[in-house]
């Protein structure tokens, strides 16, 4: 049965990759060319960046789930393994949100706090 979990993980990675690549090309770029985005924080640049990083955070979350599926396929599963996966994924979310918004979208602070709390807890 572990082969099914590995297959599921591979599909989660693949769907994330397709989501980011195809979504960027066929949805986000076309949406941005149309115009009419609401100007937030002084312009539409913030709006574009927020939509882009939020779109790609979905992919990152799916890749995190893929890591959980791989962990579930192991003969023994320790709580700390799942905690490390969750904590790292949230820290990566923080980095993407911080870079994507240049620090203007404060979700990065919450993602950072979630990742830090999770990693600290599994290490205690």
Model confidence pLDDT, tens digit, residues 34-87: 888 888 877 888 889 889 989 999 999 999 999 999 999 999 999 999 999 999
Q: Which of 46, 32, 55 has the alpha carbon at shortest distance from 104?
A: 46
* The total number of structural domains that make up the chain: 1
Given this model, what pLDDT does residue 35 score? 80
Q: DSSP E strands: which ranges in 33-81? A: none
Range of the domain at 94: 2-122
Predicted TM-score of the model (pTM): 0.89
Could you tell me which residues come within 8 angstroms of residue 70 by beta carbon, excluding any fewer than 6 positions away? 5, 6, 9
């Amino acid at each position: 049965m572990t082969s099914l979990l590995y297959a599921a993980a591979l599909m989660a990675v693949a769907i994330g990759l397709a989501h980011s690549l195809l979504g960027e090309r066929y949805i986000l770029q076309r949406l941005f060319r149309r115009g009419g985005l609401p100007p937030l924080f002084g312009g539409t640049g913030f709006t574009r960046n927020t939509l882009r990083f939020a779109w790609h955070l979905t992919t990152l979350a799916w890749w995190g789930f893929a890591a959980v599926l791989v962990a579930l396929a192991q003969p023994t599963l320790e709580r700390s393994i799942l905690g490390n996966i969750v904590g790292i994924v949230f820290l990566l979310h923080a980095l993407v949100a911080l870079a994507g918004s240049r620090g203007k979208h404060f979700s990065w602070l919450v993602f950072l706090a979630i990742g830090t709390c999770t990693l600290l807890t599994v290490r205690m």
